Amino acid sequence: MPDKLYTHDHEWLQIGEDGLATIGITDHAQNALGDIVFVELPEPGRSIAKGDGCAVVESVKAASDIYAPLSGTVAENNPAIVEEPALINKDPESSGWFFKLRLDDPTAIGGLMSKADYDKFVETL
Amino acid sequence: MVPFAGYDMPVQYEGIIAEHLACRNGAALFDVSHMGQAEFLDAQAFEKLVPGDIIGLKPGRQRYTLLVNEAGGIIDDLMVANLGDRFQLVLNASRKEIDLAHLAAHGVRVTALPNRALLALQGPRAAELLDEAAGLTFMAATEIEVSGIACVVTRSGYTGEDGFEIGCAADAAEKLAETLLARGAVPAGLGARDSLRLEAGLCLYGNDIDETTNPIAANLAFAIGKRRKLDWDFLGGDLVRLASENEPLKKLVGIRIEGRAPARAGTAIRAAGETAWPIGRVTSGTFAPTLNAPIALGYVRSDFAAAGTPLDLIVRDRAIPGTVTNLPFIPHHYVR
């Protein structure tokens, strides 16, 4: 699999050769949110634009919006985290993925960070 | 850590759910030193500002009461303990300056105790961990030593569980906390404190009650002493009496919510299935770890306040079904 890319909003995405991007939140994000108890995901077929609020995560203490890192159409969402939201805390960057997006333009990845750059960014927070 | 009422407060240590369950099943330790502490001598003068029977409060006993303004609104909710030679107050952190100014303005001589810390040891194992105070009953107060530290201990708290609130000199607080942690208490933060008090159906000042809320609408009529209801001779008493003699326009109720999405403070409440104007609003809402379900406190129009009434909560533009539920959400476990 290709390397993950990261946003300043603490999301990760991994773009497959099929042009599908798998999207989730980072370990730093789940740690900051605390115990996640509810997640609302975009339905397959929904078209979303970069920067749109497209999912909601609720921890015991607060609700947080998840913003689309790139534009595209939702291909699939992850029923496992709806069933068991704590999976996002346990395994945020793998089985705790949120949804897959068929990207409008898989080459439009400007502004996203590498793992190393994201880790540096987190250290500055 | 988060800023809260001018203090840097821990939201969580291990995690809110783990800390919450530690309190329900064992013993949790909260640092609540941000709470205001003060003392006074003159119960007669103090009684003129609260609906509680303070003159009748026996030595060694504590009582929950309210500071009420001229309009019958709640300035603060607080604890008063009779320590024999003086009365001790525990005030909300965000309200302590306002309370002290109000008391002084009405001629009550109160001494603030800014150098006192306060720890809360809460949970079914609390009495085992603080066996020095195991003889107290719910709402009893005493002065004892814990590991050589002079403490004011009351058997009370803000979780619905058995437990103690333990005041001591600020410079002894760290040693006291370490003593209680070494005995097996689990450190818990503000997050668990909020979810615990909400499950216990206890009001949070600033969310569920404020200067515009009267004690009757907030289900706090129990804080009005029997003797005080004879003459209602406290500030705002005429208006609190009026509220008590009439059905309030709105009432604070508990709400169980379907699904898993919490309805936070501010969420509009509608009559079930209606799209009309809201009939109420959530004042506190969270995901209840003990119930594994979302719960809320909110004010609804009185004709929607009966237990079992179906409601819709409008979360992110969608109506989520809820039901008015008797409080507390989980039974209190006080040792009486």
- In chain B, which residues have their Cβ closer than 8 Å to the Cβ of A62? 264
- Contact between residue A16 and residue A22 where contact means Cβ atoms under 8 Å apart: yes
Measured between its terminal Cα atoms, the distance across chain B in Å is 35
For residue B2, what pLDDT band results from cuts at 50, 70 and 90? confident
Overall average pLDDT of the B3-29 stretch: 94
For residue B216, what pLDDT band results from cuts at 50, 70 and 90? very high
Overall average pLDDT of the A65-85 stretch: 96
Domain count, chain A: 1
- Contact between residue B193 and residue B204 where contact means Cβ atoms under 8 Å apart: no
- Average pLDDT for chain B: 97
Whether B167 shows a pLDDT value over 90: the answer reads yes
Place of tokens 């965000």: B94
Extended strands (E) in chain A? 5-6, 11-15, 20-25, 36-40, 47-48, 53-59, 63-67, 72-77, 99-103
CA–centroid distance for B249 within its chain: 23
- ipTM reported for the complex surpasses 0.90: no
Overall average pLDDT of the B149-168 stretch: 98
- In chain A, which residues have their Cβ closer than 8 Å to the Cβ of B259? 38
- Amino acid (1-letter code) at residue B301: R
Give a yes or no: residue A14 inside a domain: yes
Using DSSP, how many helices (H) and how many strands (E) does chain B show? Answer: 8, 19
B116-122 β-sheet, strand order: B141-146, B149-154, B163-169, B116-122, B28-31, B186-188
Q: Tens digits of per-residue pLDDT, A1-14?
A: 778 999 999 999 99
- Supply the pLDDT for residue A116: 96
In this complex, the residue of B195, B261, B316 whose CB is nearest that of residue A60 is B195
Q: Would you state the CATH architecture of domain B2-199?
A: 2-Layer Sandwich (3.30)
Q: Any chain B CB within 8 A of the CB of A90?
A: no
The Cβ of residue B192 has, within 10 Å, a number of other Cβ atoms equal to 32
Query: Where does B249-325 sit in CATH, by number?
Result: 2.40.30.110
User: What CATH number should be reported for the domain holding residue A31?
Assistant: 2.40.50.100
- Supply the pLDDT for residue A110: 83
Give a yes or no: residue A125 inside a domain: no
Q: How many residues does chain B have?
A: 336
Task: Give the count of Cβ contacts less than 8 A between chain A and B.
Answer: 47
Q: Tens digits of per-residue pLDDT, A17-38?
A: 888 999 999 999 999 999 999 9
* Among A12-21, B43-52, B169-178, the least confident range: A12-21
- In chain B, which residues have their Cβ closer than 8 Å to the Cβ of A34? 11-12, 15-16, 191
- Supply the pLDDT for residue A44: 97
- Supply the pLDDT for residue A19: 83
- Supply the pLDDT for residue A111: 86
Q: Facing residues of A53 across strands?
A: A67
Give a yes or no: residue A18 inside a domain: yes
- In chain A, which residues have their Cβ closer than 8 Å to the Cβ of B204? none
- Average pLDDT for chain A: 94
Query: Chain B: nearest CA to A7, how far in angstroms?
Result: 24
Overall average pLDDT of the A92-107 stretch: 95
Give a yes or no: residue A74 inside a domain: yes
Query: Chain B: nearest CA to A112, how far in angstroms?
Result: 29
- Contact between residue B72 and residue B19 where contact means Cβ atoms under 8 Å apart: no
- Supply the pLDDT for residue B93: 97
Q: Where in chain B is the domain with CATH 3.30.1360.120?
A: 2-199
Q: Where in chain B is the domain with CATH 2.40.30.110?
A: 249-325
Which has the closest alpha carbon to B213: B252, B242, B246?
B252
Give a yes or no: residue A119 inside a domain: no
Give a yes or no: residue A117 inside a domain: no
- Supply the pLDDT for residue A2: 77
Q: Which of B9, B16, B24 to mutate to test the interface with A (most CBs of A within 10 A)?
A: B16
Overall average pLDDT of the B178-198 stretch: 97
For residue B1, what pLDDT band results from cuts at 50, 70 and 90? confident
Give a yes or no: residue A123 inside a domain: no
Give the domain extent around A9: 5-103
- Supply the pLDDT for residue B217: 97
Give a yes or no: residue A23 inside a domain: yes
- Supply the pLDDT for residue B207: 97
B59: DSSP letter: T
For residue B89, what pLDDT band results from cuts at 50, 70 and 90? very high
CA–centroid distance for B6 within its chain: 19
Q: Any chain B CB within 8 A of the CB of A37?
A: yes
- Supply the pLDDT for residue A18: 84
Q: How far apart are CA B169 and CA B156, in angstroms?
A: 19
